[in-house]
Structure 1
């Protein structure tokens, strides 16, 4: 029975919806949208059934689908500010309205007319309201986790827009290939729960409708935009792909332990992304698996700066071409679900939007409007001589606010509102510290490669990156994803040891070497991250001692 319903829904979702409307007698128009969500989510409850729904993405844009096709769109909510719309939930003929059915799915000519043309026959008690929001492809989503589709590497997805060219200002990453879709949501419970930067897999009936909702407007700028009439949705986790903690190795794995796998991951990050610097690679690992654990009191992801990063000057002979970017963000995109690389050139800082802004009652996206769990790599090597204008100062301040408090401002003409976020920030700078930002962790790079090879390895072309085989990559992803959702405790014995250790250091230290309470908080945070990377559910004394050694090694580099 379910299998037959699934086939019918895939082949003709509009007819399946009409049949459900007929079955629901006596009918309650207020609860029917919830019944629709429950019905279709049950049909596609299993993962295998869900994967049968065609995906809407950068390789399968709206233009590749017929009107009224059933699709699933894994997306981030970009704008919740559009006004709700009225729709006729039931026509005089007794047939279903809404979900884009008014034009093609009805057989009664009078009922298929537009609402404005049938005022004389409308039962106003049958009017209902649907929410309207704008959604986009998840910014920075890595190629390997985009719905399992066979697509090109994420580094090749820049340079052109897809079907949403007219609304490209609503995507956070300038000039990046993406899909933008207007969602119409009929289920009030779902509509009320959606917030900006939430990520869902939306399943619905795809159509194309006018962007201008004012039927009496004679504007010349009216245009058609992809519109998804949502049947149901599935919320996504911050890891996009579901993960478990603690992570366990596959039964057929040749790697003998999680600790060995962790060492292999650090070695790969160090050798391919950081010219052999294992300590810096370990700090990168600890930062990318961090998340907002609490806002009161604040337990936030640490911001990392990799300083003394050799400039790419020996590689860039043409002064007019953009400076080569480090390979590290590309490397991270193979093991993290969402990575955004921001080249902090003066042009980028002074001319592009970093935080969302409402312009002419339309919310324009900014670099920082990213989904929770994202990693943002900020590369300062593209800086040249010049000044930072007022817009640039506001942009840099917005990044610092994310590092300090994990919040980003949405700016409107006469007000601004701060919204919580959860973004890991990794800065790469050439000097002793970041040019613009105060980060919680600063790790001077100490390459182990031969001097003549350092720059070539740090800035190698993406196609020269040595990538582990697919099974090993999946284990790396599982290790990080598991740690990303894990929880770590500190038992009483370890807490007492930490306290005694702190007191002892305070008594023996002096001058600039004195250990402060801020140092203690930083160490405890690092110890928790270290435990997560070991897939341990508690901080042990051994992990605490390893934390102290890692921190001492970092400070010795100065």
Structure 2
């Protein structure tokens, strides 16, 4: 019975809507009925995967009009006003979901205004920086054929300029999915009927542009790991797996520097633990990082970026240059009542890799300074201002930051942690900018184990027992007393820093509790870092 319902929904979702519609029932209850029906039919994961994806490799052009598709997307703009639609058309026909849009009789003066309802309209885009292995795992390897590369109709609404993506107008009919419950940068899988319709925000124009439009039948929030992960891993060899992972990151992208690789891993899995009190991700600067062979070519990404994209589900690269700073926007900005995206409009769980190698001599404009302030504030407080004509609003973020710089410290940012790169191999012989296709990969099974470790650590939680807490307190007091001078004594900020580091180290080991052994490892790792800085 379920397979029959699934086949009907895939073959003709419009007919399913019409069959579900009861013109004598309460109109306001119908959207919830639609959502309940479709979400039940596609409740099994295998069933959901039967729905064709809407993505850069499966763009709107390859789907038939009014096809049922699923769109894994980031909500980019919630500012469009709700749209009125005729919920019950003439002759007691079903309305909404794009039905009757081309029927002139539904727009004449004889319509029953009691049958008008509102639907929420938002703009959504492909998940910025989603790694290809996530897309393959969830959508398969389907690619468009017989069509030119998809060109989004509103590219300014995607965080990364010129990046391939799909943008779509999303119409949501169920009252529980209001504009208040949907927030910018939220990730959702929207399942709906795909059409091409005038852009709602430009309906007052004589010839408004037509854009891909998805009439949602049901939706599901997407977890920050994109693919399902668990914590802790049920494996007695997690510590060995973690060591192998660090060695692979070091040997493939950091000239064998395992301490630097460990810091990259720990800061990559960091997330907002609490806002009150603020327990925010540690931010990292990897200094003395070599520039690419052509310093002016900011399109040359470090090998580290390819390695991280193989591990983390969402990785975004922000290549700093004078042009990026002065001519693009880091924060979203409303222009003519249209929210333009910015480099930093990223979903929770993202890793943002900022590279400073493309910055040359020149002047940073006022816009550039604003961009730098936006990035620094996001690192410090995990908030990002959205700029509107007469106001600014702060939105919470949860993004891990890693900065690569050639100097002793970042030229633009203050991060919680700075560690100089110390290659175990000759930096002259090691290529830090190899193409992703040249990266030596572990076996597919091992790589998936790495991803499971990283993904689980990203969502895990650890506690601290009473005995360990007492040990840490006593250890802290002893170190303060042993300091040669007051200026060398550890501060409360140092203790907080170490506690955050110990928490991340425990997460990377998939421990459920910070132990004395983890605390000692965290101390040793930080001590080696400080020694390296002083050399």
Q: TM-score range by the shorter chain?
A: over 0.9
Q: Does 1:171 align with 2:143?
A: no
Task: State the alpha-carbon separation in 1 of the partners of residues 182 and 299 from structure 2.
Answer: 40
Q: Which runs of 4+ in 1 moved over 3 A?
A: 149-153, 212-217, 319-324
Match of 2:115 among 116, 126, 137: 126
Task: State the alpha-carbon separation in 2 of the partners of residues 322 and 500 from structure 1.
Answer: 49
Please state whether the residue corresponding to 1:557 is helix, strand or coil.
Answer: helix
Instruction: Name the structure 2 match of 1:259.
Output: 239
Q: Does 1:363 align with 2:349?
A: no
Task: State the alpha-carbon separation in 2 of the partners of residues 323 and 137 from structure 1.
Answer: 21
Task: State the alpha-carbon separation in 1 of the partners of residues 456 and 233 from structure 2.
Answer: 6
Match of 1:470 among 444, 451, 460: 444
Task: State the alpha-carbon separation in 2 of the partners of residues 177 and 151 from structure 1.
Answer: 16
Match of 1:544 among 515, 519, 530: 519
* Structure 2 CA distance for partners of 1:430 and 1:45, relative to 1, 3 Å: same
Deviation at 1:216, TM superposition (A): 5.8
**Which structure 2 residue ranges, 5 or more long, are not aligned?**
none
* Structure 2 CA distance for partners of 1:103 and 1:523, relative to 1, 3 Å: same
Task: State the alpha-carbon separation in 1 of the partners of residues 82 and 126 from structure 2.
Answer: 22
Task: State the alpha-carbon separation in 2 of the partners of residues 216 and 355 from structure 1.
Answer: 28
* Structure 2 CA distance for partners of 1:339 and 1:100, relative to 1, 3 Å: same
Matches within 5 A, 1:414-493: 414-454=390-430, 456=431, 458-493=432-467
Match of 2:275 among 269, 286, 295: 295
**Which structure 1 residue ranges, 5 or more long, are not aligned?**
105-111, 154-159, 250-255
Give the conservation status (yes or no) of the 8 Å contact 2:298–2:357.
no
Matches within 5 A, 1:34-49: 34-49=32-47
Please state whether the residue corresponding to 1:188 is helix, strand or coil.
Answer: coil
Deviation at 1:34, TM superposition (A): 1.0
* Structure 2 CA distance for partners of 1:381 and 1:321, relative to 1, 3 Å: closer
Please state whether the residue corresponding to 1:232 is helix, strand or coil.
Answer: strand
Instruction: Name the structure 2 match of 1:79.
Output: 77
Task: State the alpha-carbon separation in 1 of the partners of residues 424 and 298 from structure 2.
Answer: 27
Match of 1:338 among 314, 336, 339: 314
* Structure 2 CA distance for partners of 1:525 and 1:213, relative to 1, 3 Å: closer
Matches within 5 A, 1:120-269: 120=110, 122-146=111-135, 148=137, 149-151=139-141, 162-164=150-152, 166-191=153-178, 192-211=180-199, 217-219=205-207, 222-249=208-235, 257-269=237-249
Task: State the alpha-carbon separation in 1 of the partners of residues 284 and 31 from structure 2.
Answer: 46
Q: Does 1:412 align with 2:388?
A: yes
Please give the root-mean-square deviation of Cα atoms over the aligned residues, in Å. 1.7
Deviation at 1:321, TM superposition (A): 4.4
Deviation at 1:460, TM superposition (A): 1.4
Deviation at 1:320, TM superposition (A): 6.2
Task: State the alpha-carbon separation in 1 of the partners of residues 297 and 355 from structure 2.
Answer: 16
* Structure 2 CA distance for partners of 1:451 and 1:362, relative to 1, 3 Å: closer
Give the conservation status (yes or no) of the 8 Å contact 1:161–1:176.
no
Instruction: Name the structure 2 match of 1:394.
Output: 370
Please state whether the residue corresponding to 2:35 is helix, strand or coil.
Answer: helix
When the two structures are superposed, what TM-score results if normalisation uses the length of structure 2?
Answer: 0.95
Task: State the alpha-carbon separation in 2 of the partners of residues 398 and 444 from structure 1.
Answer: 25
Please state whether the residue corresponding to 2:91 is helix, strand or coil.
Answer: coil
Deviation at 1:247, TM superposition (A): 1.4
Instruction: Name the structure 1 match of 2:5.
Output: 5
Match of 1:514 among 469, 472, 489: 489
